[in-house]
Amino acid sequence: MPHDSLPDAAAASRGTTELFGLTVFTLGGFGEIRAGDDLASLIAEAAQSRLLDGDIVVVTSKIVSKAEGRAVAAADREQAITDETVRVVASRAYPGGVTRIVENRQGLVMAAAGVDTSNAPAGVVLLLPVDPDASARAICAAVRERTGLRLGVLVTDTAGRPWREGQTDIAIGAAGLAVLDDLRGTADASGRRLDVTVAAVADEIAGAADLVKGKTSGNPVAVVRGLDRLVGELDAVGARALQRPSDTDMFRLGTAEAYAEGFAAGRAAAGLG
């Protein structure tokens, strides 16, 4: 029986989830990734003949960082976060430390600048890929060449969200697929015109893939099938298109930072220095 037509219970046991016409499954066979490893070759080998035209390959940024040598010795994780920070958005003290939400060198706003110590040796931190979109394009081009298939690739990382508990995976790099589905100008089921709806489909795909990849299962690559309509040219706009520029962000600062900035501006306007 083909892997993607397994009954629900059996599919779940094999790392496959059916979601509204989508098939999501993991590619096993990945050992520890080291600097210099050829991820495209490893993905193609792990996939063997399981990939189909129009599939989207979703790769955890952690293994991309490892392959690109972004694992660095850091006795002080906080210093590594500082080094990767372009702008502090918000910070909050808690017993034992400080949580910092910052804009990092890649333009992403996230906790700890994306610096990670999980699944890394003691005394080593993982930094995000220097250019996640370029990483996705390189993997996508190489896997397409090896398989002869029209595929999309997403590089993902875990992030929190304002006003929501918990974390989810988001797309930080993309190649070969649309990252936004612009529905403006179309009609909803009641015939009403949609004027503002632009679906962040790359983030939705990242979240779906994480349902089967998990955080501790050792499955860093998943395949999402059933979204052929989103897969296109290799040079399609990357995941950076999902990042809202800070000057148009209504919530570009945390509440305490916004208050402090406004208080300082008020004092300056009153001539109080």
Q: Tell me, what CATH number does 202's domain have?
A: 3.30.1330.100
User: Could you give the angle at the alpha carbon of 243 between the alpha carbons of 55 and 91, nearest 5°?
Assistant: 125
- How does DSSP assign 82-114, residue by residue? HHHEEEEEEEEEETTEEEEEEEETTS-EEEGGG
Strand locations in 162-244 (E): 164-175, 181-182, 198-199, 221-225
**Local confidence pLDDT in tens for the 273 residues of the chain:** 334 433 343 444 445 555 558 999 999 878 889 999 999 999 999 998 899 999 999 999 999 999 999 988 877 788 899 999 999 999 988 888 888 999 999 999 999 999 988 777 778 899 999 999 999 999 999 999 999 999 999 999 999 988 899 999 999 999 999 999 888 999 888 999 989 889 999 999 999 999 999 777 789 999 999 999 999 999 899 999 999 988 888 888 888 888 898 999 999 999 886
Is residue 39 domain-resident? Answer: yes
Domain that residue 44 falls in: 33-68+130-242
β-partners of residue 90 are 101
Is residue 121 domain-resident? Answer: no
Contact 73, 102 (CB under 8 A): no
Is residue 63 domain-resident? Answer: yes
Tokens representing 163 are 């006003």
What span, in angstroms and rounded, lies between the C-alpha atoms of 108 and 258? Answer: 20
Q: How many domains does the chain have?
A: 1
Q: What predicted TM-score, i.e. pTM, was given to this entire model?
A: 0.86
